[in-house]
Amino acid sequence: MRAAGLAELEGPQIQHRLVVYAFDGRPEALQQIAPRLRESAQLVAVTPKPTHNDARRILAEQMALLSDQHCNHVLTSDERGLWLLQVTASKFVSGDLFGIEKYLPPGADVHLTRLRDFQGRRNAIDEVVDFAARRGVRGTVCRAVAEVCDELLMNALYDAPVDDTGTPLFHDVDVKDRLDKLSPRPVSIRYAVTEDQFAISVRDRFGRLEKPTILRFITKCLQSGDQIDRKVYGAGLGIYLIANRATHYIVNIAPGVATEVLCTFDRGIRQPLRALSIFLYPGPPPGQPAGKG
């Protein structure tokens, strides 16, 4: 791993597999460094702490960085962001991507619920929000947690599942007709509370989410103004809403095996998205069953 500064931009190819780049906000700076990275290199863009609180503008700036094929991680250079940088580097080096525990203090109490249907989703959301409220999480944060849980669970239950040929199982099934349908593989939700944040993660057993999908839907919604039609955007609107509710948005993907989406929420004053990070791990050979989660 190596931190690249502006003074190095005119030099030879950067050989490191993971490059931490102190991004100064100028789009041309990224355009200068990206061509010098080896094809398999990943860039972690560490951005200055925002001088404004415009959530849409901050998200648009993050999308511009993530649109580069090398950049899968954008972190804000505050205390929490620099701690996340350590977690990011550790995951990159170890290859151990999954687990909410990596984003929590040692010994944090993590709760787990598994579900496979619409009613299980409703029960899980109630369970998570009730837990948060009992632990003193503010009402506005609880509402954000509930919205994100709803979106994550709907995506995991009904957008992720495919059959053996890769055909989505519920793509043509009307929402009201999904109520009695079981997801072929269980979905798990983990959650925990710490002194300054609430954290949740949802994991499916299909591993179909991709970086271009995340960027496409967020960018499309950003360009649509304030009026966004759920009928038009479907699950894509959920991805955008998550980015607007969470403080940190982490996606771990093992293609064909599992997707884990992890979100944290500040317990104090709500902050715009401060980190969006996408980790990709090569999946097993076709036909190998998904691991336990």
Task: List pLDDT tens digits, range 54-69.
Answer: 888 899 999 999 999 9
Report the chain's mean pLDDT, rounded to a whole number: 86
Q: Decide if 241 contacts 151 (C-beta within 8 A).
A: yes
**CA–CA distance, 90 with 274 (Å, rounded to integer):** 19
257-262 average pLDDT score: 96
Between these two residues, 222 and 228, which has the higher pLDDT value? Answer: 222
Which among 17, 43, 48 has a CA at the least distance from the CA of 32? Answer: 43
What phi, psi does 26 have (nearest 5°)?
-90, 120
For 1-12, write each residue's pLDDT tens digit: 444 444 444 556
Q: What percent of the chain has pLDDT over 90?
A: 58
228-253 average pLDDT score: 79
State residue 17's pLDDT score: 85
Q: Whole-model pTM?
A: 0.88
Identify the weakest region by mean pLDDT among 38-42, 102-106, 144-148, 169-173.
169-173
**CA–CA distance, 245 with 146 (Å, rounded to integer):** 10
266-292 average pLDDT score: 70
Between these two residues, 118 and 52, which has the higher pLDDT value? Answer: 118
The confidence band for 233, taking pLDDT boundaries of 50, 70 and 90, is very low
The confidence band for 232, taking pLDDT boundaries of 50, 70 and 90, is very low
Identify the weakest region by mean pLDDT among 200-214, 224-238, 262-276.
224-238
What phi, psi does 61 have (nearest 5°)?
-65, -40
Torsion of CA 135, 138, 142, 143, to 10 degrees: 160
